[in-house]
Amino acid sequence: MGKTPAAWLAIGFAGQAIFTARFLVQWAASERKRDSVVPVAFWWLSLVGGAILLAYVSYQRDPVLIVGQSLGVFIYVRNLMLVGKSRRRAARRAARFVRVRGDEATTGPPTTHRRARRAKAQGPAPIGGRGSES
C-alpha cells in the first residue's frame, strides 16, 4: 500500500473523531439520567462518522473495513428511521388526547368521551341514581 495523501488522512481522522464522539455523547446522556440511554445524537454521530470512515476505507480499498462500515451505515440509518417513526407515533397518540371544548383545548384520556356517550345512550338516571332499587 502506498503513501496516503494528507487530505485523506485528515478525512480519516475527522471521521474517527466524529465516530468516537458518539460514545462521549452516550456516556454524558447516561450520566445525566443515571441510567443507560442512547440519545438520538448517538445515531446521527454514528451515521456521519461511519459515512466519512466508509469514504476513507473505500479510498484505501480495504474490503474488510468497507463491508463493516457499510453494514454500520445501514444500521444507523435504520435506527434513525425507527426513532422518527416512534416520534410520529407519540405525536399522533398525544393528538388523540386533545379535545377542543369551545375556545380552550384541554387534555384528558379518551375514556371521558366514551363515558359521556354511554351515559347519554342509557338515558336519564332514575331518581336515587343509577343502579339503585326503587
Average pLDDT across the chain, whole number: 83
d(CA 134, CA 131): 9
More confident residue, 1 or 51: 51
On the 0-12 / 13-18 / 19+ scale of CB atoms within 10 A, 106 is exposed
- How far apart, in whole angstroms, are the C-alpha atoms of residue 41 and residue 81? 13
Task: Indicate whether 49 pLDDT > 50.
Answer: yes
Q: What average pLDDT does range 121-127 have in this prediction? A: 66
Residues 45, 19: contact at Cβ < 8 Å? yes
Q: Report yes or no on whether pTM surpasses 0.95.
A: no
CA distances from 45 to 25, 56, 75 (A): 9, 16, 13
Average pLDDT over residues 117-122: 67
* pLDDT at 60 exceeding the cut of 90: yes
**Residues 6-18: pLDDT tens digits?**
999 999 999 999 9
